[in-house]
Amino acid sequence: MATTTAEQRRDQAKLDYDAFLDGCPTRELLSRLTDKWVALVISALSGGPQRHGEIAHRIAGVSQKMLTQTLRTLERDGLITRTVTASVPVRVDYALTPLGHELVPVMAAIKTWAEAHMDRVFMARAEFDARAGA
């Protein structure tokens, strides 16, 4: 009955949790997920496991602090795994967990959306500013 119970619990959870409600834990989770660096890290790892340095190189301009901090949080939330290989220069690999992998389409969608509609947003801003300036 374990399977049924877990399934029931999840269905129940889907009904109870609502990010529109203040104090709902999903509000906090939502604020963690809606993070520039999270979107980039998850997208970067979507192609497979990568080393710390590789991710840093991929995501240009990210500070070492923010990267480590973001990776730690994602690890704690069960979205990525951190594997340390004790070699001469320490090697650390990060990879998406199954849970983290489920987030890839979502994060990729935001990144892609921004890249695809950048010009339209620029036009809208120009119009808005012109109106406001007039």
- Residue from 72, 76, 117, 125 touching DNA (CB under 7 A): that is 72
Distance, CA of 16 to CA of 38 (rounded, Å): 26
Within 17-97, residue ranges assigned H as helices are 25-33, 36-45, 52-58, 64-76
- For residues 12 and 56, what is the distance between their CA atoms, to the nearest angstrom? 39
Q: How far apart are CA 44 and CA 99, in angstroms?
A: 16
Q: How far apart are CA 96 and CA 43, in angstroms?
A: 10
Nearest CB to a copy of itself, comparing residues 13 and 91 = 13
**Distance (Å, rounded) from C-alpha 29 to C-alpha 63?**
23
Q: Does 134 bind a copy of itself (CB under 8 A)?
A: no
**Nearest distance in Å: CB 108, DNA:** 20
Residue 40 binds: one of a copy of itself, DNA, none (C-beta under 5 to 8 A by kind): a copy of itself
Q: Which one of DNA, a copy of itself, none interacts with residue 129, CB within 5 to 8 A by kind?
A: a copy of itself
Q: Which does 83 bind (CB under 5 to 8 A by kind): DNA, a copy of itself, none?
A: none
What is the contact mask toward a copy of itself in residues 11 to 40, using x (rule: CB under 8 A)? --xx--xxxxxxx-xxx-xxx-xxxx-xxx
Smallest distance, Å, CB 94 to a copy of itself?
Answer: 15
